[in-house]
Chain A
């Protein structure tokens, strides 16, 4: 095994660990809605919520990096260049995340000056990490870029997937630089902030996961390189063709000109179309392989990715993407419902799939299967669908009572939050969150044991 692959395993383990922190912080955030006095004066909603969304970003990013460190030496046939630096960066990355989490929990708020921004909390959603930590993350990303580019140069080989990956590193690093400024003007602040948030999540990350899925498909199903590269380019063209100007659906209400209503609505309304193509593709792959594979959990999580992406991103997104609906749905639990579903479908399922692929190889199991992963799969997906369903009910109530009827004042907000539909939705969301957390526990158990329990059987031939 390459050192790069040992590093990959560490990254994937850390990713699954932070997935747990995200789940716990999410449960806490959900609990505040049904018991607002919870930890009052000690730890407030905004800190739990910050931990929830920041660890979401971190665990997915670590999962992506783990997947790439795993596939990179296999793809290029040599050890990753600069692997020692990469290993140091892994520990730095983990230390930084833990230190920032400790600062958020213990210190919580800094002063309203530059020192506060550098040392404690920047208070911008998703990029709350103080600047010193953001600088460390830039360093980690730069070393990661060096690993990829350096390895490609030393191997004197550039595959299609590697080419896409390397080009994608540029916006991945450059866009993150928006984690530093504190613009006085909120409109300007949010304008650039959406470049980071949207163009990471709906563009560069989509390309990253596309590359990872392409490599995983070759590994899992033995699909030919020509096919996966063709489809990767198609995906890149369609996702970025709709996603780059789809950025405009975040520019409806932040003070930007009115033309964004048409541009943002138009391009983001196209976004479900490529996702439908991916669903048809998944059906084709599942059918031609008769749902048979040596790694059933990885395969099912990959299918969950295609369907989750379509439903969470496509269906849930299309409900609220046209400006006339978005005017009322924006900034309500309706949006939260979409966000949960889309992140889960687009990224989380893919990272879990890769974790299963890697574990099968590491443990040398001819095939992996069993019952624990089914429980994890069922509880995580059922819990997630339950959460987004109940958030949707609460979101409907909020959009109706607060926005459409009440005119969005403080009084209208409170009326909506106290309505039976909203409150019941929040209780049910918490219950579904517990199911999700139980699924997480089952997932961790399965990841720790799968391939160890099942005796190695005669290797199955790679399916065409």
Chain B
């Protein structure tokens, strides 16, 4: 078989695709184990009952989420079944309202509105607590989500998406869980909250 013959390159193409596909499948098996809820990179859904932070890890040279102590959402610790249902609901709300076509999650989506990967940890919620006259960060988030036109953020107003309270709570739970996912340091330096570097 000569190098300028189609057969030579067909054999080459088949070999390359076969090798790459096998490697991809092996990496996929390993990655799926790491990203299942409770895997090495993705926390269990019950993490929403705990206090979540984001801190520079000098060994890995990136920012990583921290989970320490109890801090249940709305002050009520939920069972793993309740939490799983809540997170499932939150995901369906996010899909049904097409949030991803204005916002990004882990940087994926549209770029019209801010990234929501670590939005639970955004220092801006302190001010929103005062604006919405809420007793807690999660309550402020719920009030904002239920009436974003009333609590306008800036010139690009988030539209009224007619979320019920149950739906808004589910979204807040989802955002809290998502903030605890180990995203290899994305976004970097979030909120400049790290003081250890």
Contacts and interface: CB of A to CB of B under 8 A. Distances in A.
Interface of A: 32-33, 36, 40-41, 44-47, 49-50, 108-113, 116-117, 120-125, 128, 160, 182-191, 193, 226, 229-230, 233-234, 236-237, 240-241, 244-245, 247-248, 250-261, 263, 327-328, 330-333, 335-336, 398, 403-404, 407-411, 413-414, 417-418
A11 to B, nearest CB: 27
A64 B27 CA distance: 31
A121 B96 contact: yes
B41 A411 contact: no
Contact of B9 (A46, A188, A237, A414): A237
B72 interface: no
25 contacts: A44-B159, A45-B102, A46-B99, A46-B112, A49-B110, A110-B96, A121-B95, A123-B94, A123-B95, A160-B6, A233-B9, A245-B27, A248-B27, A250-B108, A255-B181, A255-B182, A256-B184, A258-B184, A259-B27, A327-B188, A408-B188, A409-B191, A410-B119, A410-B153, A414-B154
A138 B49 CA distance: 41
A327 B186 contact: yes
Chain B: number of interface residues, binned into ranges: 35 or more
A186 B178 contact: yes
Interface of B: 4-6, 9-10, 12-13, 16-17, 20-21, 23-24, 27-28, 30-32, 34-37, 40-42, 60, 84, 87-89, 91-102, 104-115, 117-119, 122-124, 153-157, 159-162, 167, 170, 174, 178, 181-193
Given A182-B91, A191-B31, A331 B104 contact: yes
B124 A331 contact: no
B104 A253 contact: no
Given A233-B13, A257-B30, A327-B188, A113 B182 contact: no
Contacts of B110: 45-46, 49, 125
Given A46-B102, A46-B110, A183-B91, 4 more contacts: A186-B106, A237-B12, A257-B40, A407-B190
Contact of B10 (A193, A233, A245, A258): A233
